[in-house]
Structure formats: C-alpha cells, structure tokens
Amino acid sequence: MSGAVRTSVCILGGGPGGSAAALQLAKLGVPCVLVEKAVFPRDKVCGDALSGKVMRTLERLDPDLAATVKRDGHAMPSWGVTFVAPSGRALRVPFSRQTGLGVAPGVILPRLQFDDLLFQRAKNAAGITVHEGVAARAFERKPEGWQVSIEQGSLRTGEERPAIIDAALLIDASGANSTFARHVAGLAMEPRHHAAGVRAYYHGVKDLDPQGFIELLFLKDLLPGYLWVFPLPDGRANVGLGLRSDVVKKRRVDLKALLIKLLADHPQLRDRFAHATLEGPVQGMGLPLASKRQRLSGDGYMLVGDAGHLIDPFTGEGISHAMISGVHAATVAHEALQAGRTDAAYLRTYDQRVWKRLGQELAISTRLQQLANNPWLFDFVVDRANKNPALADTISSMFTDLDLRARLKKPGFYMDLVLGRTMK
C-alpha cells in the first residue's frame, strides 16, 4: 500500500450506480477515483431483469455499451411482464403495443455479466482511476473534503493501492450494506421499509415465456410479497421471492426453505419445476426500499442507488434507480466543483433532482405495495382486465407510462374498474 492520493471525486462501489456515476463524470471531464471491494467479474444476488428504464439510461450514457448488452449471449430479450393474481389467473402486460418486432424494450441478463460489462467500461474510461479489491473502512470529514482510509483486499500481484484517498466529494454507491450510508449518513435499516429476498438459478423449467415476459406471482402464501420467474437463454431461469422484513420477522419464515417448498408443492408451480434442476445454492439479499423517502446528500457526499434506499417497494427494481441516481450525482458533483460549493445546502440539488425524476413513481409503487395485502383486489383487477381488452390496454399503459400510473391515486380509477370502463 502506498500513501495518500488526492482526487476531485471518490466513488465507493463499482456496481451499476457507481459505474454510471464514473462514466458520467468522464463525459463531463471530472477526474475520479473508484474504490471497489470485490474483484470483477463478481456475482450480485438479484432478479437480473434490466427494464426499459435501465436500457434507456444506458443508451444515453453509452450507446455502444447498450448495444453490447443486448447482443450478449447470456441475455434474453424481454417484451413484457405477466402478473399472476392469487386466484391463479394471469394478466400479460406488454412493454410495447407490438411484441416481437424490432428490438425488445427490456433485457434479462445475469448481474455477473451485466455488472462486469459496465464496470470494465468505466475502468477503461479516461480520467477514472479504479482501485479494485480494496474496501473503504473509515471516513473523516476534513475542511477540504473527505479522507477515506482503505484496507487491502484481494489484490493482484504487483498492484499498488493508496492507504488514503482525499476527495473534495464522495459518492457512495456501495450498496445495501453501505458502511458510509449507515454509520456516517445515518440511514438505518427499518424492517417496514426493507425487504428480504432469495434467488436461485434453475434449468429445465417448463413453460418459460418465449418472448421473455417476466413472471410475478402474487401467491396468497407470500402476500404482500411475490415470487418471480425470469427466463434466461437455454432453458434457464432466475427464480426467487421477496417479502418485507417486518413480515418475515412476524411470520418467522425461512425464505430459502419457503422457496424450495413452493416450487415443489404449490399447484401453480410444482409441474413446471418437477424436472427442473437447481444450479448452485439459494442465495439471500437485503433490499432497502424507497417506501420512506430518505435524505440522499449531506456535507460533501451523495448517496446513490441501494445505499440511498432507492429500491422500488412494489417491483423490487433497483438497477435503473441506481444508474439514474448515479448520473444525477455525477452531474451535481461537476456543478458543485465548478461553483466551489460542496456543502450540504448546495448538494440538496441532488435530492431534488432524484425525487423529481423518481418520486412520483416510487409513491405509486408504495401504494401498490400496500394494496398487495388484499388478494381480492388483485383477483378483481385481473378478472376485469381479461374480460375487457380496452381496460387491459389501459393497465398495460400504467406500467409503461407514468402519467397513467398516477391515476391509481384517483378514486375514479376504481369506479372505472367496477364498471369496466376505460380510463380517458
């Protein structure tokens, strides 16, 4: 380990949020140091679905990389989502009016591959210095910025790493278990605003959707959580479930055991998994949810993605929010450095931009999460939509068009459902 290094911005974490922030800083001509405790490629426990929001963000950030992701041999094009109500009846919600034509809006790609593609692009970009295989262990606020002490990890032979990084600004994208977010920024884990999830890979699963529709199954045994089946190439699937942490504690449930039991015994799943083979272990993850709005910045720092508790409380999606917030953090960092202002008051601009972009959507998702406690409502909506193509199209638009999704807040939406009318 060598001595101290001085930089404009220090980024903690090389996942999608940190890499997106680094690439945006490179575009703006701002030098940065990225500290990543793992050595890539590394796995990340996740559902692996890259939504249209992820792909649009990636296309704006790096069009060539977006094209590379879509062409990856491990990727499955995804044209929509299938919601399965507690009754067992399903509603197919396409991401576009015509499926199977042109390029799919979404992609399913294991994080082992996606994160590595993004990280390597950041690692090779001009102005970005990457320290891989080291962890940030201590943080001290100085008049000129943050002093980050790092600890040696799994270093490659002959590589030198600084013991100290001095940075004018710090962007924390180090994930759900961020030391900085919890112990410096003060974001506590609150079980009601946190979910526990488990994920496994299977091959030989029957009836996977040929157009890559991801499946969300709202089983009565799991509400207000759900089980997912996301298809991958070559007959593989990412399978998992998620449930709010306070509910897990109240029910005293072992999520790994529950997943295995549901796949073996549940009437909607047992035939599909009768001859499926589990690949490797069932792995767990923690999901800090955006059902409670947190402060995302402070004196000289900004929190990105999971570190800022920005996971969608209904769908569990976190990749797009990490990348979107990472791009905003980099842009605000550039402006702050130009203005010579890294104080908390100035960096509140970051919070404002993130919540302007994501706040309404996350508020609606929080409402949907709350409605997930009512099996009859899911059954009712799915039944109505399957009988009324116009209503089904409206509900489809709710999941691709934020303005229509916002109508969920209006009492008239439920009257339209009762009467079978299409929203105008």
Residues with Cβ within 8 Å of 186's Cβ and at least 6 positions away in sequence, in order, are: none
Q: Are 14 and 134 in contact (CB under 8 A)?
A: no
DSSP 383: H
pLDDT of amino acid 395: 59
Could you tell me the pTM of the whole model? Answer: 0.91
Candidates 46, 103, 51, 394; CA nearest to 240 is 46
Residue 157, classified by CB atoms within 10 Å of its CB into exposed (0-12), middle (13-18) or buried (19+), is exposed
Determine the distance from the C-alpha atom of residue 259 to the mean position of all C-alpha atoms in its chain, rounded to a whole number.
21
Rounded CA-CA distance 329/326 in Å is 5
Q: What is the C-alpha separation between 115 and 41, in angstroms, rounded? A: 8
Domains of the chain, each with CATH number or no CATH: 2-50+113-189+293-366 (3.50.50.60), 77-105+191-288 (3.30.9.100), 388-419 (no CATH)
- Residue 135, strand partner residues: 151
User: What's residue 154's pLDDT?
Assistant: 45
* Among 96, 105, 56, 33, CA closest to 76: 105
Name every residue whose Cβ is closer than 8 Å to that of residue 244 and which is 6 or more positions away in sequence. 191, 192, 194, 195, 196, 224, 225, 289, 369
pLDDT on residue 117: 97
Q: Is 27 exposed, middle or buried (0-12, 13-18, 19+ CB in 10 A)?
A: middle
Q: Please give the full DSSP string across 316-382, using - where no structure is assigned.
A: ---HHHHHHHHHHHHHHHHHHHHHT--SHHHHHHHHHHHHHHHHHHHHHHHHHHHHTT-HHHHHHHH
CA dist 259 and 241 (Å) reads 7
Are 344 and 298 in contact by the 8 Å Cβ rule? The answer is yes
From first to last of its 424 residues, what are the pLDDT tens digits of the chain? 567 889 999 999 999 999 999 999 999 999 999 999 999 999 999 999 998 889 999 999 999 999 999 999 999 999 988 989 899 988 888 877 777 777 888 999 999 999 999 999 999 999 999 999 999 999 999 999 999 998 865 445 456 677 899 999 999 999 999 999 999 999 999 999 999 999 999 999 999 999 999 999 999 889 889 999 999 998 899 999 999 999 999 999 999 999 999 999 999 999 999 999 999 999 999 999 999 999 999 999 999 999 999 999 988 989 999 999 999 999 999 999 999 999 999 999 999 999 999 998 888 888 878 877 888 877 887 887 788 776 666 655 555 556 656 666 666 766 665 565 655 5
Angstrom distances, CA of residue 129 to CA of 14, 23, 126, 204, 230:
12, 11, 8, 43, 35
Give residues with Cβ within 8 angstroms of 363, minimum separation 6.
none
Residue 197 in tokens: 């999830």
Answer yes or no: are the C-beta atoms of 422 and 416 closer than 8 Å.
Answer: yes
Number of residues that this document lists for the chain: 424
Separation between Cα atoms, residue 60 and residue 151, nearest integer Å? 35
Extract the tokens encoding 250.
């109240």
pLDDT at 400: 58
Residue type for position 371: L
pLDDT given for residue 2 in this prediction: 63
**Neighbour-count burial of 167, counting CB atoms closer than 10 A to its CB (0-12 exposed, 13-18 middle, 19+ buried):** buried
Cα distances from 95 to residues 19, 83, 114, 333, 365, in angstroms, run 27, 13, 21, 34, 17
CB 9 within 8 A of CB 170: yes
Query: How many C-beta atoms lie closer than 10 Å to residue 285's C-beta?
Result: 22
Cis amide prior to 224 (ω within 30 degrees): yes
Residue 107: HSE in the Cβ half-sphere, 13 Å Cα cutoff:
23
* Total Cβ atoms within 10 A of residue 182: 15
